[in-house]
Structure 1
């Protein structure tokens, strides 16, 4: 067999939506819990199972990695190198930075040597891997991604009139390079006591005033909404420093390692390298290791117009440019005409809308919205047809 319909884990994190997954895919929520994420893959914290037998996907892979994953992926990664998700955020997730591959390896080794338990609240490195991510919006999807251009940061702090930070802001304005941005971000992350209270009071006063610019209105609105969930949190300054973005359904963006970001609200598909390494920078009651955060952050602004990815459209398939080899992501349009897709590794196909039938070596599986199938590499090729849209995760 080379096609396996998946039974996937739903994670009930507190920030999840109680109705979005049900409305989009008809997946029941009998206890009316937050349904935050559907996990598709072989991750130990939420491994998919085969719909027919209940066998964990990880066991299927481990029984014959060479056939299931293909020679390159088996040798390069030793397992399925990505985790594919539906992510439905009702309230903001924490502001995060993910370390790069080399620093993840060093940090994981160091914390192991120090004897820090993997489940310790102050553990930064849960594994030796990096965690680049792609998000594809299924609904309008609010987020933050990367530092704003420095002149925008200066303008927003001046508009908000955060006079407590005038000294740091004037240095950033005068020098305007990545070192100055690092110093400014570090100063905000290190605010405490009366100075933190004064800066937040000035920010709250800005929330109450009419905005003077479109950029200021959006940034302060994000901050004001964050305050409803994380009062007096240092992350309330983040929208003044980070690009705010709202993806429309069908738009996608990439989130690089060492780049601060946060998912704010909306439902989308997310694909990432297999890792749990997270360094937090606000909007959280959890541990924040400021020195480690600073050491793992690149202080290079991202132009707002460069955030959205431009897919390459070819023969009914949209391919998204991704600068890592852990995963690839395509959107396939299934029509009445059967189309062939050749494999270079194992894949997971998720039905976004409509109905699509996946066929290979005499097997056929029909997917409805919210359903997914694992395609083993040993099938070499599969066909898809129907009247729907499929999201394709591969590497």
Structure 2
């Protein structure tokens, strides 16, 4: 009989913006070399595939050997792979402002870059795969981010308070066309600032953020710009807080990020669950490759209401779920206090223990998880019992 439960050994990505201490403090994950530990990846993506504890196999190899067993017939036929990537993200410094493509454009972009022979690890590569990348973020600590465009009215007000003379004409045009097309033109103008114009605009922005603010929104945006400027003093991404919503999540709150929506994670530790993709189109706060035409073609220029960014949880007795508008993944939190719960399996699952110690049992197999440990559950398990005392995050399809 094939196994259904597999403890995972996961990849830690040492990106420069990561925290040196957060994963150790929260989960006891060691960091002997004191490198930034930015993301812990749980999944089968080639850029950071989990391994099976006690086996030579990776999770991707397990799925490739027995896709129907691991994924189930529906997920195998619908996606042909593990459709999600589960992460712990620990940001000590701001990440780049970025947009992720929708599915149809990701496929086109990936095929196009393959045709011209652009290597997957080329720094000029926009599309590392042909998938979209909607995301859910669940805050484990206080978590600050930017997500989606502000209203055009707010953008106009904030830029008027910033007094950027080289953008005066563009701002007048935005006032005259206060709609999606007007915002698209204004965003393109800001993003294309270069040379002396860019230097002057950033100098004037620096003067503005040093002066008293007229409004609470300006105070909040200017404070974030000052924070960004310590890392990226010569970057058009410094204008992003004037255009994007600033979101603050308390521990236990979650938000969803749609494809084609500009966003940036600023600080904090959270769980990040997304479609199985690593596609990024950058829009500032980065020394890395930026492709403005591709960015413009993959961005929706519509305002996102701040009140609608946070997800409303569905709370049951031992379970909290967050409904999301995609089929690639679902997310739940299970709270355990010695009473066993039975969970029915419809597709592949990854369980990550946030607190305490739990035991998962299915068809005679059992796996014990402590805080910071994770496991893969094959669809063929059909159901499992989970007991112990603690909290477990459940990513499933």
Q: Normalising to structure 2: TM-score of the pair?
A: 0.97
User: Following TM superposition, by how much is the alpha carbon of 1:33 offset from its aligned partner in structure 2, in angstroms?
Assistant: 0.8
Match of 1:352 among 351, 354, 375: 354
Match of 2:230 among 205, 228, 231: 228
User: Following TM superposition, by how much is the alpha carbon of 1:54 offset from its aligned partner in structure 2, in angstroms?
Assistant: 4.1
The correspondence of residues 1-395 of structure 1 with structure 2, limited to 5 A, is 1-395=3-397
Cα offsets for 1:287-319 (capped at 9, x unmatched): 111111101100010011111001111232111
User: Following TM superposition, by how much is the alpha carbon of 1:259 offset from its aligned partner in structure 2, in angstroms?
Assistant: 0.5
Rounded to whole Å, the distance in 1 between the matches of 2:87 and 2:390 is 19
For the residue of structure 1 that corresponds to 2:350, the secondary structure is: strand
Unaligned runs of at least 5 residues, structure 2: none
For the residue of structure 1 that corresponds to 2:227, the secondary structure is: helix
Rounded to whole Å, the distance in 2 between the matches of 1:105 and 1:53 is 34
For the residue of structure 1 that corresponds to 2:173, the secondary structure is: helix
Rounded to whole Å, the distance in 2 between the matches of 1:5 and 1:120 is 33
For the residue of structure 1 that corresponds to 2:230, the secondary structure is: helix
Unaligned runs of at least 5 residues, structure 1: none
Rounded to whole Å, the distance in 1 between the matches of 2:330 and 2:262 is 22
Q: Normalising to structure 1: TM-score of the pair?
A: 0.98
Rounded to whole Å, the distance in 2 between the matches of 1:370 and 1:54 is 22
For the residue of structure 2 that corresponds to 1:250, the secondary structure is: coil
Cα offsets for 1:121-170 (capped at 9, x unmatched): 22212211111111111111111100011111111111222232111112
Cα offsets for 1:226-257 (capped at 9, x unmatched): 11111110000000000011111111111111
User: Following TM superposition, by how much is the alpha carbon of 1:262 offset from its aligned partner in structure 2, in angstroms?
Assistant: 0.6
Rounded to whole Å, the distance in 1 between the matches of 2:85 and 2:15 is 17
User: Following TM superposition, by how much is the alpha carbon of 1:174 offset from its aligned partner in structure 2, in angstroms?
Assistant: 2.7
For the residue of structure 2 that corresponds to 1:229, the secondary structure is: coil
Rounded to whole Å, the distance in 2 between the matches of 1:62 and 1:344 is 19
Cα offsets for 1:162-213 (capped at 9, x unmatched): 2321111122123210000001000001111111111111100012112222
For the residue of structure 2 that corresponds to 1:246, the secondary structure is: strand
Rounded to whole Å, the distance in 1 between the matches of 2:89 and 2:349 is 19
Rounded to whole Å, the distance in 2 between the matches of 1:159 and 1:207 is 9
For the residue of structure 2 that corresponds to 1:194, the secondary structure is: helix
Rounded to whole Å, the distance in 1 between the matches of 2:64 and 2:328 is 18
For the residue of structure 1 that corresponds to 2:287, the secondary structure is: coil
